[in-house]
């Protein structure tokens, strides 16, 4: 007998296989016992299986009845717990609602504080705008406005003005915008005047002026004023028919005069621009050669030296 009380003459696993075959079973066991003995043993084995099944059913019934006994009165117990659970659920929902309302109020307070801070910054900025406007009026009315120091202060104050105006755009009035526009024009006029009058001065002076143009974002303005007020008058006096006729060296001498002007009068400006362009933080570059000098030279040669293009008229064409 095994631990379950089943006769061990036959193996339970043998009969449990899906591939079990009666013929194979009889062939395998006919040499171990006679058919009569096999029938007897099979009967005993079947009886043991039945007893085991009955015992298993009895155990399951006992467990079922024990479980059923434990469920007696469960309805009353659940009914007793229900009010408490409902109260707890209501309390949780109330707490959740209060928490959501509190979070909403906090969010509203935060947004209000942000608006107040923004409004406060705008008020401070509009005060700075008014101060900068008045300060610029004083600086630009300086009789010694061509002083580099005064001009530097005016440029710095103007940049401060622009920065402050961006922080209080909603509070700006038309009068502020008009004054800012007038001061911008006045500042650029004075900066351009000093730039033109200082082109032949020291390289450091020109570099400071270029820094002012750069801080104002007016690189093109510097290139344009250089082209119109500095280079063009000189090129007009050189690149013309009368000057060409008086040149003993012809076109070569005329072009040498242009080169001499570039390397002489514009030397400090070009060196200052090169130094400024080499600064690591500079993204925009000054280019007085290609944007100021060459356009003037091209236009003057094209419009004022027609004779050098008349190659089909030997009497006019300059060789």
pLDDT tens across 41-72, in order?
A: 788 878 888 888 888 888 777 777 777 666 67
Distance CA 187, CA 150 (A): 11
Distance CA 319, CA 307 (A): 10
289 or 44, higher pLDDT = 289
Which DSSP category does 231 fall into?
A: I
Tokens of 110: 């935060």
Dihedral angle over CA of 255, 260, 261, 263, nearest 10: 130
What DSSP assignment string belongs to 176-216? HHHHHHHHHHHHHHHHHHHHHHTTTS-HHHHHHHHHHHHHT
175 or 284, higher pLDDT = 175
Distance CA 304, CA 194 (A): 30
136 found inside a domain = no
> Tokens 């089943």, residue?
6
What DSSP assignment string belongs to 69-116? HHTTTHHHHHHHHHHHHHHHHHHHHHHHHHHHHHHHHHHHHHHHHHHH
User: What confidence tier does 144 reach under pLDDT thresholds 50, 70, 90?
Assistant: low
pLDDT recorded at residue 311: 54
CA atoms within 13 A on the CB side of 70: 5
pLDDT at 119 > cutoff 90: no
104 found inside a domain = no
Last-in-domain residue among 46, 71, 96: 71
Residue pair 195/222 in contact (Cβ under 8 Å)? The answer is yes
CA-based nearest residue to 227, from 217, 236, 216: 236
Number of domains within the chain: 2
* Mean pLDDT score, 135-161: 83
> Tokens 């090169």, residue?
274
Last-in-domain residue among 25, 52, 71: 71
Distance CA 125, CA 269 (A): 37
Distance CA 164, CA 171 (A): 11
Tokens of 171: 């509070």
* Mean pLDDT score, 29-41: 78
pLDDT at 249 > cutoff 50: yes
10 Å Cβ neighbour count for 257?
18
Distance CA 210, CA 147 (A): 15
* Mean pLDDT score, 9-27: 73
pLDDT at 212 > cutoff 80: yes
Domain boundaries, position 53: 12-71
Tokens of 148: 């580099």
pLDDT recorded at residue 155: 92
* Mean pLDDT score, 293-314: 78
Distance CA 264, CA 199 (A): 11
Q: What pTM value is reported for the model?
A: 0.63
State the average pLDDT for the chain.
Answer: 82
95 or 64, higher pLDDT = 95
205 found inside a domain = no
- 156: Cα separation from own chain's centroid: 29
243 found inside a domain = yes
pLDDT recorded at residue 181: 92
pLDDT at 319 > cutoff 60: no
Residue pair 288/273 in contact (Cβ under 8 Å)? The answer is yes
> Tokens 């299986």, residue?
49
2 found inside a domain = no
pLDDT recorded at residue 257: 87
314 found inside a domain = yes
User: pLDDT (tens digit, 9 = 90+) per residue, 157-207?
Assistant: 999 999 999 988 888 888 989 999 999 999 999 999 999 988 888 888 899
10 Å Cβ neighbour count for 194?
20
Q: At what angle do helices 203-215 and 267-277 cross, to 10 degrees?
A: 50
113 found inside a domain = no
17 found inside a domain = yes
25 or 121, higher pLDDT = 121
């Amino acid at each position: 007998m095994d631990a379950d009380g089943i006769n061990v003459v036959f193996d339970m696993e043998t009969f449990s296989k899906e591939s079990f075959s009666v013929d194979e079973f009889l062939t395998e066991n006919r040499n171990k016992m006679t058919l009569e003995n096999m029938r007897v043993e099979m009967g005993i084995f079947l009886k043991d299986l039945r007893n085991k099944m009955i015992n298993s059913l009895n155990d399951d019934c006992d467990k079922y009845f024990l479980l059923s006994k434990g469920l007696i009165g469960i309805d009353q117990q659940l009914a007793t717990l229900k009010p408490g659970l409902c109260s707890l659920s209501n309390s949780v929902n109330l707490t959740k609602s209060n928490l959501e309302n509190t979070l909403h109020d906090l969010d509203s307070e935060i947004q209000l504080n942000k608006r107040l801070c923004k409004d406060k910054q705008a008020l401070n900025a509009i005060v700075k705008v008014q101060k900068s406007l008045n300060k610029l009026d004083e600086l630009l009315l300086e009789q010694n406005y061509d002083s580099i120091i005064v001009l530097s202060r005016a440029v710095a104050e103007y940049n401060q003005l622009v920065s402050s105006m961006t922080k209080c755009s909603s509070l700006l009035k038309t009068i502020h915008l008009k004054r800012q526009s007038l001061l911008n024009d006045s500042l650029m006029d004075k900066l351009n005047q000093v730039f033109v009058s200082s082109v032949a001065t020291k390289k450091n002076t020109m570099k400071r002026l270029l820094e002012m143009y750069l801080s104002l974002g007016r690189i093109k303005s510097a290139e344009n004023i250089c082209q119109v007020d500095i280079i063009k008058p000189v090129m007009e006096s050189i690149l013309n028919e009368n000057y060409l006729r008086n040149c003993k060296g012809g076109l070569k001498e005329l072009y040498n005069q242009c080169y001499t002007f570039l390397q002489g009068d514009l030397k400090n400006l070009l060196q200052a621009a090169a130094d400024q362009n080499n600064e690591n933080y500079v993204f925009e570059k000054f280019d007085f050669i290609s944007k100021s000098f060459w356009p003037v030279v091209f236009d003057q040669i094209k419009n004022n030296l027609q004779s050098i293009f008349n190659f089909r008229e030997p009497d006019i064409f300059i060789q």
